[in-house]
């Protein structure tokens, strides 16, 4: 099944977005919400179709040391987290099945982790790879070259 932005965008709160309209250059703004009744994205106090919006997210590998420390407070407050542990936690969630309920995984912590990552504009859902989101790191590098 092909990924659709409308299935994921509501999970990302106030992330930066690019708005594409009428063949013009994209305009940067922030996601303000979802108009569920009209099935539209709200930004700049206006409703946009999902096709006109791309969130600007960071890949998981771009998590900063400060963010890793915050993640550590969520997953294991008594231990020092690593990027590898973070990647493992996100991958575990992506492959979750109902059979996993029998294991000793702390799912509320995993949900809290994913909410935190999404709130800091980290792509936990493969939206960049699917072409549904822009990679903030690449955009920053392109802007630095100008």
What is the domain range of residue 89?
60-119
Number of structural domains found in the chain: 2
Residue 66 structure tokens: 């400060």
- Do residue 68 and residue 115 come from a single domain? yes
Rounded to whole angstroms, the Cα distance separating 11 from 8 reads: 6
pLDDT of residue 93: 56
Whether pLDDT at 97 is above 70: no
- Do residue 10 and residue 51 come from a single domain? yes
pLDDT of residue 80: 67
- Do residue 71 and residue 87 come from a single domain? yes
- Do residue 53 and residue 72 come from a single domain? no
**Model pLDDT for residues 45-69, shown as the tens digit of each residue:** 788 999 999 999 999 888 887 888 7
Q: Let me know: does 43 contact 29? Beta carbons within 8 Å.
A: yes
- Do residue 42 and residue 72 come from a single domain? no
- Do residue 52 and residue 66 come from a single domain? no
pLDDT of residue 81: 64
Rounded to whole angstroms, the Cα distance separating 51 from 6 reads: 9
Q: Let me know: does 60 contact 116? Beta carbons within 8 Å.
A: no
What dihedral angle (degrees, nearest 10) is formed by the CA atoms of 77, 79, 85, 86?
A: 30
Element (H, E) at 75: helix 65-75
Which residue did the predictor score with more confidence, 25 or 126? 126
Whether pLDDT at 102 is above 70: no
pTM of the model: 0.79
Beta strand residue intervals within the chain, DSSP E: 16-19, 27-30, 33-35, 40-43, 46-48, 53-57, 134-135
The rounded mean pLDDT for the chain is 83
Which residue did the predictor score with more confidence, 76 or 122? 122
Element (H, E) at 118: helix 107-119
Residue 119 structure tokens: 């709130």
Q: Give the pLDDT band of residue 106 (cuts 50, 70, 90).
A: confident
């Amino acid at each position: 099944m092909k990924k659709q932005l409308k299935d994921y965008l509501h999970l990302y709160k106030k992330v930066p977005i690019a708005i594409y309209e009428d063949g013009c250059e994209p305009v940067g703004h922030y996601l303000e919400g979802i108009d569920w009744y009209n099935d539209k994205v709200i930004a700049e106090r206006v409703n946009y179709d999902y096709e006109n919006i791309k969130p600007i997210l960071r890949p998981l590998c771009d998590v900063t040391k400060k963010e890793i420390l915050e993640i550590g407070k969520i997953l294991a407050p008594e231990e020092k987290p690593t990027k590898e542990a973070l990647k493992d936690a996100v991958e575990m969630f992506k492959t979750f099945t109902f059979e996993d309920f029998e294991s000793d995984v702390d799912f509320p912590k995993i949900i809290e982790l994913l909410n935190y990552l999404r709130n800091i504009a980290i792509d936990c859902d493969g939206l960049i790879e699917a072409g549904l989101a822009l990679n903030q790191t690449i955009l920053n590098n392109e802007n630095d070259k100008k």
